[in-house]
Amino acid sequence: MATILGDPEALVADVLRRAQHRAVEIADEARRHAVSILESAKRESETLRQQSENAIAKQVAALTRRNAARCELEAQRRLIQLREEPIKRVWAGAEERLRNLVKQPAYRDVLKRCALHGARELGETEFVLAADPAGHELLSTDTLDQWSKEGGVRFRRATKPAATWGGLLVTSGRLRFDATFPTQLELARVCLRENVFQILSKGKA
C-alpha cells in the first residue's frame, strides 16, 4: 500500500482496478436484480393472466347464467301464454252464453237450481235470495213459495237485487253461498287453468 501511495501511476491503476472490480460487482448485482425483476414481472404477468382468465370465465359463466335465466323466463312466459289463450277463448264464450241466458225464458229455472243448490250447501232452513236486477223481478212470492215446497225450506226475496249481471246470492244469517254467474265462472276458470297447465306440462316433459 505504501508503494501505491508513493506512486501516482500505481495509485491510478489501483483505483481503476478497484473501480472496474466494483463496476463488475455492480453489473452483476444489476443483472441479478434485473433477473429478479423479470421473474417477478413474469409471476405478476402470470397472476394477471390467470386473474384475467378467471374474470373472463366468471363473465362467461355469468353471461351463460343470464342467458339461461332469460331462456327459462321466456319459456315460462310462453307456457303461460299458451295456457291463457284457450282459457280466454273458453271464458269469453261461456260468459257470452250466460249473459244471453239471462234474457231467455228458461232463466227462471236456472235461478231455481241456483237457489236449491245454495240451500243444500248451507244446510239451513230459511234463506234470502238476491238475484241480478232482471232476475230479481222473477223472484215473485208465488215463485218462491213453489221453490220452498220443492226444497223443503223457506225462500224469501231480498229487499234489493244483487250487484251482479247473472245468478243469485243465497244467504242465511251470516252464511252466504255465492251462485252468481261471475263467481261461478271464475271458479270454473281456476279449474280450467289448472287442467290446461297440466296438459301443457306433460307436453313440455
Say which residues have a Cβ less than 8 Å from residue 102's Cβ, sequence separation at least 6.
132, 134, 135, 165, 166, 181
Least reliable range by pLDDT among 125-129, 135-139, 191-195: 191-195
What does the pLDDT look like over 167-204, one tens digit per residue?
Answer: 999 999 999 999 999 998 888 877 766 766 666 566 55
Tell me which of 58 and 87 has the higher pLDDT.
Answer: 58
pLDDT higher than 60, residue 19: no
Q: Which amino acid appears at position 138 of this protein?
A: L
Position 183 scores a pLDDT of 92
Which candidate, 110, 113, 114, 93, places its Cα nearest to that of 101?
A: 110
CB 204 within 8 A of CB 79: yes
Residue 167's region, left for phi above 0, alpha for psi from -120 to 50, else beta, is left
Tell me which of 84 and 142 has the higher pLDDT.
Answer: 142
Residue with cell 402470470: 46
* Structural element, H or E, at residue 177: strand 175-180
For the chain, the straight-line distance linking the first and the last C-alpha, in angstroms and rounded, comes to 100
pLDDT band at 32 (very low <50, low <70, confident <90, very high): low
Tell me the whole-structure pTM to 2 decimals: 0.56
Mean pLDDT of 150-177: 96
Mean pLDDT of 26-32: 53
What does the pLDDT look like over 47-64, one tens digit per residue?
Answer: 766 776 776 667 766 666
Residue with cell 220452498: 148
pLDDT higher than 50, residue 17: yes
Position 155 scores a pLDDT of 98
